[in-house]
Copies of this chain bind each other. A is one copy, B any other.
């Protein structure tokens, strides 16, 4: 038949995702993406159509092979507040602690709310995070307080992701996350006593 592809699609998408995470979609030039992925432009266009296609594929890879995994691990059906805290802590540790932020959070700012090449990944991620946190909190502190606390945690989450690009001390953010979860642990104790 025909020649087989010589590169690893997952590795290419991970490398492209990092380039987009660092520079944004617009400022990541094809030359930059060639360097990051090790491919030449011909191969990129052959495999992904165009720059937008590469971005879509990289974002989907990021959401399905990274965000989804972490939500499942840290906010899945058998996760508790301790695991959820690790979700927040994990964005302050490698590989996200390089100062380039989160591809989804960055894309919210770059692309906004209008339908576009990032909408699917953004909306899927927002739903995953919100629902994961909300149902975990419902189990842990009860349905009454869960919704309000969930939105506060979602906002905290995106605040951490945004300021992780600003040079703000990771340690200071880590402490703030710790304080928030100390409060939630206390709420859980009160909730368990009431029952």
A161 nearest CB across to chain B (Å): 8
Contact A162 B165 (CB under 8 A): no
Contact A110 B158 (CB under 8 A): no
User: Do most interface residues of chain A lie in helix, strand or loop, or is the interface mixed?
Assistant: helix
A100 nearest CB across to chain B (Å): 7
Contact B179 A105 (CB under 8 A): no
User: Is A157's CB within 8 Å of the partner chain B?
Assistant: yes
Inter-chain contacts of A110 with B (CB < 8 A): 24, 109-110
Q: With A24-B110, A108-B166, A110-B109 in contact, do A155 and B159 touch (Cβ < 8 Å)?
A: yes
Inter-chain contacts of A22 with B (CB < 8 A): 112
Segment among A49-57, A77-85, A146-154 that sits at the interface with chain B: A146-154
Q: With A99-B113, A156-B159, A159-B159 in contact, do A126 and B176 touch (Cβ < 8 Å)?
A: no
Q: How far is the CA of A176 from the CA of B155 in the complex (A)?
A: 9
Contact B149 A179 (CB under 8 A): yes
Inter-chain contacts of A106 with B (CB < 8 A): 109
Inter-chain contacts of A105 with B (CB < 8 A): 109, 162
Interface centre among A27, A152, A157 (most CB of B within 10 A): A152
Inter-chain contacts of A42 with B (CB < 8 A): none
Contact B24 A167 (CB under 8 A): no
Q: How far is the CA of A22 from the CA of B113 in the complex (A)?
A: 11
A126 nearest CB across to chain B (Å): 6
Inter-chain contacts of A24 with B (CB < 8 A): 26, 109-110
Q: How far is the CA of A108 from the CA of B160 in the complex (A)?
A: 12
Additional pairs, 12, CB under 8 Å, beyond known A108-B165, A112-B166, A113-B167: A22-B112, A24-B110, A101-B109, A126-B168, A148-B176, A148-B179, A151-B172, A155-B176, A156-B159, A158-B159, A158-B162, A161-B162
Task: Pick 7 A–B contacts, CB within 8 A, sort by A.
Answer: A101-B109, A108-B162, A108-B165, A108-B166, A109-B110, A155-B155, A183-B183
